[in-house]
Amino acid sequence: MFKSLAGRTVIVTGASKGIGKGIARRFAEVGCNVMVVSRNIADGEAVAAELQGHGGKIAAIGADVSTPEGAKAMAEATLAHFGAIDILCANAGIFPAAKLASMTVEEFDHVMNTNLRGTFLSVSACLPALKVSGRGRIILTSSITGPITGFPGWSHYGASKAGQLGFMRTAAIELAPSGITVNAVMPGNIFTEGLEGMGPEYIASMEASIPQRRLGSVADIANAALFFATDEAAYITGQGMVIDGGQILPESPAAIAEMDIA
């Protein structure tokens, strides 16, 4: 149905774990060259080794996307290794919880610097190469948390995820003449190592609140990211796609309770 993406080069930030690893796997499976980015190079190299032989060529770099130096090193290493950057999946993100009453400036800045500043720096560093590509694709990993919903402890996180969508809309306008599209996947609760750390009670409560009664998989998100990267999605830009098993739909807990009544 879709034209092949084989041979295109994709950078996936935050690809050593979770959603990013799932995105890297999916792009590798369709024959893309994939640069796996994370701060911990050993984790990234382990993923690169795991994905070898799944299709495209894989490499890894240790880089902190919240710094200009890290983002620049990531783009330069990708160009040196693969000779192009066609697709950027700006996925790296953190979600430490802190309630407003006790949130420190450092905690706020750490989340914003990784999630929002890291998005800006990653896009900026890759922009010259994406322009050369002529069919550049930027895919941000936002969230439902912030743009649509809220959760206690995540005011800084929600602001960073909503901020990514604000960034996306203007970037999409500015980059349209260069043939670059900018879109976002907006996951609900996805089962990852990061989410696993929230504990079994949190996971069970989330499953109970989702109409499909399951957490999403990293493949659910990776498939949406892959679609945004295709030639067939060339006319879609500045859009967010919610992938959440219906999580944002119930207007009250009663809507979920009603599902169980025959």
Q: From the CB of 134, what's the least distance to ligand NAP, in Å?
A: 27
125 to 13, 65, 79, 161: CA distances (angstroms): 13, 10, 11, 20
Give the one residue of 2, 6, 40, 255 binding ligand NAP; rule: CB under 6 A. 40
Give the one residue of 18, 136, 147, 245 binding ligand NAP; rule: CB under 6 A. 18
* 158 lines the binding site for ligand NAP (CB under 6 A): no
* 13 lines the binding site for ligand NAP (CB under 6 A): yes
* 31 lines the binding site for ligand NAP (CB under 6 A): no
Give the one residue of 12, 190, 224, 241 binding ligand NAP; rule: CB under 6 A. 190
Q: Find the DSSP H helices in 134-252.
A: 155-175, 193-196, 200-208, 218-229
Give the one residue of 7, 29, 31, 39 binding ligand NAP; rule: CB under 6 A. 39
> Which CB atom, from 4 or from 213, has the smaller least distance to ligand NAP?
213
Angle (CA) 138-41-46 rounded to 5° is 90
Token pair of 135 as six digits:
């069919």
Question: Strand pairing partners for 108?
Answer: none
Other CB atoms closer than 10 Å to residue 77's CB: what's the count? Answer: 18
114 touches 64 (CB < 8 A)? no
133 touches 141 (CB < 8 A)? no
**Of 185, 217, 228, whose CA–CA distance to 27 is shortest?**
228
* 143 lines the binding site for ligand NAP (CB under 6 A): yes
* 193 lines the binding site for ligand NAP (CB under 6 A): yes
Question: Strand pairing partners for 12?
Answer: 36, 89
Rounded Cα distance between 132 and 163, Å, is 27
Contact window for ligand NAP (CB under 6 A) among 7-15, 27-35, 176-184, 249-257: 7-15
Please confirm, yes or no, whether 157 is among the known catalytic residues. yes
* 33 lines the binding site for ligand NAP (CB under 6 A): no
> Which CB atom, from 29 or from 43, has the smaller least distance to ligand NAP?
43
24 touches 225 (CB < 8 A)? no
How many residues contact ligand NAP, by CB under 6 A? 32
* 77 lines the binding site for ligand NAP (CB under 6 A): no
Rounded Cα distance between 187 and 91, Å, is 11
> Which CB atom, from 18 or from 56, has the smaller least distance to ligand NAP?
18
* 48 lines the binding site for ligand NAP (CB under 6 A): no
> What is the DSSP code (8-state) at residue 149?
B
Which positions touch ligand NAP (CB under 6 A)? 13-20, 37-40, 43, 64-66, 91-95, 114, 118, 141, 143, 187, 189-190, 192-195
Active site residues: 157
